Structure 1
Amino acid sequence: MIEVKPLHYFIAAYEEGSITAAALRCFISQPSITHAIKSLESSLGVILFERSKQGIRPTIEGEKLYKLATDLLLQNQQLEAAFTPNSKVELHLYIQPDINIEQYSDIIETIKHSAPSINLSIVDSVEQSQLAIIDEQLLSSKFQFKRLNQESYKLVVRRDHALANNNKVRLESFKDLEFIERPYCTNRKVFERLTNEKNITITYKGKAIHDLQIQGLVKLGLGVAVIPGSYIQQDHDLKYISIVLDTPITRSIVLAYRKLPNVLIKTIEAIQHRSMALDKVKSSD
């Protein structure tokens, strides 16, 4: 008889394409994932994965087991829920650290209220998650997603800075500025490429670990910074200036998900429709 837990580990390995990523997702050691897969292979008398330096790839038997295993685990979950009315379904949520979650708090509330049986818990990495609010550039092909927002970047300076009277600046204005570095920026290389093309050398005065800290350092007069639009706040000491570029640099914030409980599918679709409606309102302004 096949146990349920090894099937969970097998599914994680299948979806991640990596033993390491599967272990991270399941909060266990790599040998435990390997042991579970070998145990299944021994019980079924088949090889489930082809192994290489690039990772693992499912065999025909692995593809077959994946479909059967996902159906079985879903039925198992539904069976438990039917006879345990107050039971909670654990859902792991990842929120990218440099995304201002306050901008998307209504999404979290919508999920919580539309599916009381869901227990949301925060995880440290996207590999461990079933649901994520994340920059699309950082998302693996293992996820589906719905777009929430398209964010542009702005230059933030103190109100007494020489550029504070400007509503727009070009990259050439960066030449004589001292910046607080944002090392976690997903578009950092794009900015660097554009400044290099214009022979602009960026001077950094230090690094920040999150965008609220960046704005605090700017307020103290320790430099200027480039931050995404969602972190713009009402602050009389700071000025946010649009950056004029031939090709605007933006990041796409998405609600990403793997296989979800049925109760959440319609909620995700509703969130997408609402985001599209908001986009139309913004474009008409």
Structure 2
Amino acid sequence: MTLSELRYIIAVAKEKHFRKASETCFVSQPTLSVAVKKLEEELGVILFERRKQDVIVTPIGKKIIDLAEQIIERTQDIKTIAQESQGDLSSQLKIGAIYTVAPYLLPKFIPEFNKQSPNIPLIIEENYTHVLAEKLQSGELDLAIISLPFQEPNIETMPLYQEPFKVVIPPQHELAKKDSKISLNQIKDETVLLLGAGHCFRDQVVETYPNLMHMNYQSDRLQKTFEGSSLETIRYMVASGVGISIFPCTSLSERDENLFKIRELAAKDQANRVVALAWRKTFPRTEVLAAFKKVIKSIDIPCTIPIDN
């Protein structure tokens, strides 16, 4: 059994196809196929059910591939530990962040991190929570900035800050003429624009205010049309008068006052989310974690409440 063979079966499981797996591993298909067959014979089990168009991972195959991913991850950790023991902290740091956090936090975080830790190159990725979780588990990402709750095996989290939700209203709307806080009862007959499935912020809003979904689906709403949109798309839809929405406060700035009106929720309807850092329990670069925490504490993130750890 070799590390190459483990990488091959991981690739086949991911691609569900031998040819595609061989391309990602930069070997010929016969080479990969022979190696996988050799490993199956050595273990005495079938890892994949071969079909004409694709392959299916067997139950025992899934268990073995899960373990193979951990082994490959730990081999990289060995290299990292060796580098750090020699004072080399220059290995790149791969950070993922959810779509509703990345554009508003990272422009503040990255320059300060580069200033405080200039020898650590950053690789940044925006994605959905479930994709970041998968990449964190596989070692494709070192850290992820997500929103709680985030319950994943072998993953640790550290709350960074808490931020409230706010209501955004078209400038010509009747509610925009009032300076008072907005209650859900006041928007029960409005078109409420929400992010599409896959966005954790949408899930949090729907979980906190379940009646919003009920209200939207009881009438001819445009919400379905715009599911899957980004906050930026919804921002301009609100500005054009299509409907109102609920945003995390960090996504709002003074420039938005020219687009629409921003209002706080009434006390009984107030809610917030907690943004957190996530990493594998086996992540060996403790100095990097310390550097990340230091930077987060040093930057100003408007309208949020820092969480001390």
TM tier relative to shorter chain: 0.5 to 0.7
Give the equivalent residue in structure 1 for 2:182.
169
The two structures have a TM-score, normalised by structure 2, of: 0.63
Name the CA distance, whole Å, in 2 between partners of 1:100 and 1:75. 30
The equivalences for 1:114-263 within 5 A come to 114=117, 116-122=119-125, 124=127, 125-126=131-132, 127-128=134-135, 129-137=141-149, 140-164=152-176, 165-183=178-196, 184=199, 185-191=202-208, 193-195=210-212, 201=218, 204-205=221-222, 206-207=225-226, 209-234=229-254, 235-244=257-266, 246=268, 248-258=270-280, 259-263=283-287
Q: 1:232 Cα deviation (Å)?
A: 1.5
Name the CA distance, whole Å, in 2 between partners of 1:198 and 1:204. 9
Structure 2: state its 5+ residue gaps.
26-31, 48-56, 136-140
Name the CA distance, whole Å, in 1 between partners of 2:118 and 2:5. 28
Q: Residue 96 of structure 1 is aligned with which of 84, 95, 98?
A: 98
Which shows bigger deviation, 221-230 or 130-139? 130-139
Check the 8 A contact 2:194/2:226 in 1, yes or no: yes
Name the CA distance, whole Å, in 2 between partners of 1:267 and 1:230. 23
The share of aligned pairs that are identical, in percent, is: 15
Q: Which amino acid aligns with 2:234?
A: I
Structure 2 CA distance for partners of 1:138 and 1:265, relative to 1, 3 Å: closer
Give the equivalent residue in structure 1 for 2:59.
52
Name the CA distance, whole Å, in 2 between partners of 1:71 and 1:38. 25
Q: 1:173 Cα deviation (Å)?
A: 0.9
RMSD: 4.8
Structure 2 CA distance for partners of 1:118 and 1:149, relative to 1, 3 Å: same
Q: 1:152 Cα deviation (Å)?
A: 2.1
**Is structure 2 residue 291 aligned with structure 1 residue 267?**
yes
Check the 8 A contact 1:150/1:253 in 2, yes or no: yes
Structure 2 CA distance for partners of 1:82 and 1:146, relative to 1, 3 Å: closer
Name the CA distance, whole Å, in 2 between partners of 1:246 and 1:123. 33
Check the 8 A contact 1:111/1:264 in 2, yes or no: no
Q: 1:156 Cα deviation (Å)?
A: 0.7
Name the CA distance, whole Å, in 1 between partners of 2:262 and 2:78. 52
Q: 1:163 Cα deviation (Å)?
A: 0.7
Q: Which amino acid aligns with 1:250?
A: N
Please state which structure has a larger fraction of its residues in strand.
1
Q: Which amino acid aligns with 2:294?
A: A
Check the 8 A contact 1:219/1:238 in 2, yes or no: yes
Name the CA distance, whole Å, in 2 between partners of 1:93 and 1:51. 32
Structure 2 CA distance for partners of 1:215 and 1:110, relative to 1, 3 Å: same
Structure 2 CA distance for partners of 1:155 and 1:254, relative to 1, 3 Å: same
**Is structure 2 residue 78 aligned with structure 1 residue 75?**
yes
Give the equivalent residue in structure 1 for 2:110.
108
Structure 1: state its 5+ residue gaps.
14-18
